[in-house]
Every structure is written in C-alpha cells, then in structure tokens.
Amino acid sequence: MSPETLVIEVDPLNPQREVISRAAEIIRAGGLVAFPTETVYGLGADALNSRAVKKIFVAKGRPLDNPIIVHIAESGQLKVLADSVSAEAVALAERFWPGPLTLVLKKSARVPDTVTAGQHTVAVRMPGSNVALALIRASGVPIAAPSANLSQRPSGTTGRHVFQDLAGRIDLVLDAGPVEIGVESTVLDISTQPPTILRPGAVTVEDLESILGKVALGGHAELLKRSPGTRHRHYSPKAKVTLVAGKSQPEVARLLEQRAAAGRKVGVMTLRPDLYRGKQGVVVAAMSQDLREYARQMFASLRELDEAGVDEIIVEEVEEKGIGVAIMDRLRRAASGK
Ligand code: TXA
Ligand code: MG
C-alpha cells in the first residue's frame, strides 16, 4: 500500500508548521499519518472519507467490526459527528477536553459506517497533544484514529514503536518521542443511562462521578455487546503474560526459579527490581511505584521484554486505584489473550 514510510521528528509542544502542513496534506489526500496524542500514538485518516478509513483496518490488520475513535480539535466539531449533543456531553467536554476521555454518542449521518463498524453510535475525543490538535486543525477534517500498533500488539507509546509495527504500511510517522500518559483514553458511553465506562483510562470513575453522579462500569457481557473492540485479543506481547498478586515477592521468586529450572527465559515487570537482578535467565523491567509513571512505562516494557526474547513475562499486579484500574485492565487482557 505505502511501500515507503516517512518518519519526521516534530516538537511535541510547538509543532513545526511546515511539518504539520505536510502531514495534513496526506490526510486530505486520503493517506495515513501516525501522530502522538497524550495517551498513545494514533493512526489517523480523514474520518469523513470512507476509503481512507478502510486503509486503517488494512494497515493494522484490524477486525472490521471494531469501531474507531474520531478526534476533533474544537468542541463545535462534535455537532457534525453526533446526532445531538446533550447538556451532559457539553459538561464533560468542558471539564475533560482536551484530554483522555472518549465519549460515545448517537452518530450523525455524516459519519461513515466504516468508522463506527455499522453501529449507530460514534466515539469522539479531543486529544490533549499540541501535535494532534495542530494536525486536526490543519487537515480541516475530524481524524479517525485507533492506536498506532499492529492489531493485538501493545499500543505504541513512542515513534519508534509505531515504526516497528507499521513501516511499509502507512505514509508518515510524526515522531514526538514518548507520550505523556501511556494508556488509552477512558471510553464513556453516554448514549444510554446510566453512563457506562466501556474502557478505563486516566480519567477515573471518581473524576466522572464528580460531574455525572452515578457511573456504571461495563460488565463483561455488556462490553462484548457495546464495545466490540473488547472482544478481540489485545495488548499482547509475543511472550505469554502471567499475573501475580502484588506484594507476593516469594511467589514471583518461586515462579522464576521454576521457569529457570525448565530452561525458559523469563521477563519480570516488578516494583522491586533489586530482588531479581543478576538471576540466571531473568530479564528485569524495573517499574515505578508511582502509577502514573508505571502507565507511561507499561507498553514499552512489554515490547522491550519481547525484544529480549523472553518466553514468558511475569507481572506483579498493582493497586487498582486511580490510573491503576486502567493499568490492571490492560495487564489482565494481556494475560488472558483477550
Ligand atoms: O487514547 C485513545 O483512545 C487512543 C488514541 C489514539 O486516541 N485510541 C485508541 O483507539 O485507543 P483504539 O481503536 O485502539 O480503541 C478504541 C476503543 C475500542 O475498544 C473500540 O471498540 C471502542 O473504543 N469504540 C470505538 N467506537 C465505539 C463505539 N461507537 N461504541 C463503543 N465503543 C467504541
Ligand atoms: Mg488499540
């Protein structure tokens, strides 16, 4: 499709105007541009151009029944995409945009079925990254963008990860170095009552309840029905992922010894790297106690351990508080292969 993938470095805070215009031209011409958002890198196409959006599915190997988030740069663009904009939607947008919150609303006729995978709702967010906002403005259209990784793989959090997965499949990577947050946006369905979190992220239940009152957390069956993306394999490194309850260093040590005895190379993502460094056949990824920092490191660590050629990755669970809820959601999916 795109034999040559160009990589251009861009300043994350003050994106160079000529770089942005070049990227916007590609979007307007129906091409694919990967760009940084504050959560993870996105793989963008003109959201109103069905043929361009189809290329995203091909480039990622994404199942056609998994709808894509549309990114906007002005709240006014919401009116073009949504059938109607409730007072609730306005309040959420005012409080959390630009930022890591995606709203699912009834869609307007303008949004192609390719974007929504045939659903009657559309997912919209205004990303909090200057590069993303500049690109959307310069393109003059909303930009449909899933995470910029091959389907099933951990999301890309640096330009290098994106290039590793998508070189030869897309036109351009705007490389602004590592992202700020590291896990994908919170997806909140406000098309039904009560509002339901379909995917946890950096905007937490508590944050949302401060505006909305009660918010539901999507249960498993409901997620399958309402957020098709959740039924597919996700966030998977090549190695098998095994979760171990937090603060159980003896259990981690026991597993590492057992695997080593079986001649397997094992990675460990741990808050206590000092305990495991220097052990035969063990590759250590030191994770931060600070869960915001942990989130920034998580996908990169899964990729690095893969690159080190480990057969299995043992991960200590983290406390499910604040962004820890989103971290555990991704780790569980990585471990379950779902
Ligand atoms: O932070 C993010 O959200 C990143 C950046 C690039 O913005 N994007 C991202 O996109 O994570 P993706 O495609 O990897 O995940 C989008 C999720 C999927 O679980 C998908 O099923 C869900 O949002 N989704 C999209 N449209 C939906 C809709 N109309 N109804 C329910 N779920 C939807
Ligand atoms: Mg994704």
* Nearest alpha-carbon partner for 301 in 321, 317, 315: 315
Structure tokens at 79: 């009116």
Structure tokens at 103: 């709203």
- What is the average per-residue pLDDT within 275-282? 89
Whether the CB-CB separation of 294 and 318 falls below 8 Å is answered with yes
Element (H, E) at 37: none
Judge whether residue 139 has pLDDT over 90: yes
- The response to whether residue 66 sits with its C-beta less than 6 Å from ligand 1 reads yes
**Among the atoms of ligand 1, which is closest to the Cα of residue 116?**
29
pLDDT tens digits, one per residue of 279-311: 888 999 999 999 999 999 999 999 999 999 999
Q: What is the mean pLDDT of the chain?
A: 93
Q: Which has more pLDDT, 79 or 236?
A: 79
What is the pTM for the complete model shown? 0.95
- C-alpha 275 chain-centroid distance: 31
Output the DSSP codes for 92-156: HHHHH-SSSEEEEEEBPTTS-HHHHTT-SEEEEE--S-HHHHHHHHHHTS-EE--BSS-TTSPPP
Cis peptide before 67 (omega within 30 of 0): no
* Interval between CA 257 and ligand 2 midpoint (Å): 34
- The response to whether residue 204 sits with its C-beta less than 6 Å from ligand 1 reads no
**Among the atoms of ligand 1, which is closest to the Cα of residue 41?**
6
* Interval between CA 68 and ligand 1 midpoint (Å): 5
Judge whether residue 3 has pLDDT over 70: no
Structure tokens at 135: 């690109």
Q: Rounded CA gap, 71 and 82, in Å?
A: 13
The b/e string for 90-124 (b: 16+ C-beta within 10 A; e otherwise) is eebbeebbbbbbbbbbebeeebbebbbbebebbbb
Ligand 1 pocket, mutate which of 70, 72, 102 (most atoms under 8 A from CB):
102
* Interval between CA 299 and ligand 2 midpoint (Å): 12
pLDDT tens digits, one per residue of 10-54: 999 999 999 999 999 999 999 999 999 999 999 999 999 999 999
Which residue in this structure is represented by tokens 């039904």?
A: 192
* Interval between CA 37 and ligand 2 midpoint (Å): 13
What is the radius of gyration, based on Cα positions, of the chain? 20
Judge whether residue 2 has pLDDT over 60: no
Model confidence at 218, pLDDT cuts 50, 70, 90, reads confident
End-to-end CA distance of the chain: 29
Cβ atoms within 10 Å, residue 220: 10
Give the pLDDT score at 147. 98
Give the pLDDT score at 247. 74
Ligand 1 pocket, mutate which of 227, 230, 231 (most atoms under 8 A from CB):
227
Strand pairing report for 41-46 and 33-36: antiparallel
Residues 6+ apart with CB under 8 A from 258: none
The b/e string for 76-86 (b: 16+ C-beta within 10 A; e otherwise) is ebbebbbbebe
Domains in the chain (CATH in brackets) are 6-182 (3.90.870.10), 240-336 (3.40.50.11030)
Give the pLDDT score at 231. 63
- The response to whether residue 229 sits with its C-beta less than 6 Å from ligand 1 reads yes
Q: Rounded CA gap, 98 and 145, in Å?
A: 16
